Amino acid sequence: MKRQFIAGGALGATTFALIAGASVSAQAGQPVDWQLSWQAAATRIAEQIHWFERYSLMFIIPVTVLVMLLLLWCIFRFSKRNNPVASKTSHNTMIEVIWTLGPVIILLFLAIPSFQLLTAQYSPDDPKLTVKATGYQWYWGYEYQTDEPLSFDAVLLKDEDRAAAGKQDLAVYPRLLAVDNEVVVPVNTTVRLLVTAADVIHSWAMPSFGVKMDGIPGRNNETWFKAEREGLYYGQCSELCGKDHAFMPIAVRVVSQEQYDKWLAAARTDIDSANKALIAEIENSKSVTVARN
């Protein structure tokens, strides 16, 4: 969330902006305290969704204010005290034309970019990787549909398992969002996602990707994403699916192509060791970057 405040001087404002920007960047893939807007976008589809929200508000806010003012004016102008003799007017051609053409024009301005966004959501680039996500009560199962298939489950990470998994940092692996096995995908790669369910309806939702797709038993629904920034991104099941619906998180780790290839080769034999090796490599690369600065 971007916080705004009135600073005592330009230096204070600049310092706050840098700190806030770093905080948002560091936690781009998860919600933050007092968040009022979207999570930072990691795909172009998510960026378009954010833009369309701001664009829509340019129409929604003026229309809401106009309607409120008209209501207040009518309440005052046509009250019994100010208008003791009620008007007998039953028709006004100009008003009819205005309140018909006005909404039509506004809806056209909203419909065109809306259809463009919808088209983009269903027009992926040539996918390089296909992952199938199956919702269970209450965890996710994943299958990488590669030459040598890889399957694993992703379950909510319990506090007592954090040390063994090397995930003690709550800022990176928050409670109720962290999982034991993240989905790992390469950056700047179109991923086809097949979503289904084994028992009841679930929903695979990743806010930073602009993706939300229902998983329905007996049906494969298809969506896609192309993450353009490396990082760890969190989502949750977004379809009420039973008593532990709130404990069914989703985690996607976006890494370089080289890191993904090494992880995939190792994960086919030992997913736990592959995850730990990937985390260690990412942490080491961060340490090197900080040391160079």
Residue 172 lies inside a defined structural domain of this protein: yes
Q: Are both 116 and 163 inside the same structural domain?
A: no
Q: Are both 143 and 282 inside the same structural domain?
A: yes
Domain region containing 283 = 129-292
Q: Are both 253 and 227 inside the same structural domain?
A: yes
Domain count of the chain? 2
Write the secondary structure of 50-95 as one string of H (helix), E (strand) and C (coil): HHHHHHHHHHHHHHHHHHHHHHHHHHHHCCCCCCCCCCCCCCCHHH
Query: Of the candidates 156, 123, 127, 125, which has an alpha carbon nearest to the alpha carbon of residue 144?
Result: 127
Q: Are both 174 and 253 inside the same structural domain?
A: yes
Q: Are both 240 and 104 inside the same structural domain?
A: no
Q: Are both 114 and 237 inside the same structural domain?
A: no
Residue 33 lies inside a defined structural domain of this protein: no
Cα separation, 158 vs 247, whole angstroms:
10
Here the CATH number for the domain that contains residue 249 is 2.60.40.420
Q: Which two tokens stand for residue 247?
A: 């404990």
pLDDT tens, 61-119?
A: 999 999 999 999 989 988 888 888 887 878 888 989 998 999 999 999 999 999 999 99
Q: Are both 143 and 211 inside the same structural domain?
A: yes
Cα separation, 134 vs 228, whole angstroms:
25
Within 10 Å of residue 196's Cβ, how many Cβ atoms?
20
Phi, psi of 224 (to 5 degrees): -160, 165
What is the pLDDT tens value at each position of the chain, 293 positions in all? 333 333 333 333 333 333 334 333 444 588 888 888 889 999 999 999 999 999 999 999 999 999 999 999 989 988 888 888 887 878 888 989 998 999 999 999 999 999 999 999 998 889 999 999 999 999 999 999 998 989 999 999 999 999 998 899 999 999 999 999 999 999 999 999 999 999 999 999 999 999 999 999 999 999 999 999 999 999 999 999 999 999 999 999 999 999 999 999 999 999 999 999 999 999 888 765 545 54
Whole-angstrom CA distances from 149 to 46, 144, 220 are: 29, 5, 18
Residue 28 lies inside a defined structural domain of this protein: no
Q: Are 113 and 178 in contact (CB under 8 A)?
A: no
Residue 34 lies inside a defined structural domain of this protein: no
Residue 136 lies inside a defined structural domain of this protein: yes
Residue 4 lies inside a defined structural domain of this protein: no
pLDDT tens, 260-287?
A: 999 999 999 999 999 999 999 998 887 6
For residue 9, the one-letter residue type is G
Residue 8 lies inside a defined structural domain of this protein: no
214-239 exposure pattern, b = at least 16 Cβ within 10 A, e = fewer: bbbeeeebebbbbbebbbbbbbbbbb
Q: Are both 55 and 133 inside the same structural domain?
A: no
Residue 19 lies inside a defined structural domain of this protein: no
Here the CATH number for the domain that contains residue 85 is 1.10.287
Q: Are both 170 and 67 inside the same structural domain?
A: no
Q: Are both 174 and 287 inside the same structural domain?
A: yes
State pTM to two decimals: 0.80
Cα separation, 255 vs 258, whole angstroms:
8
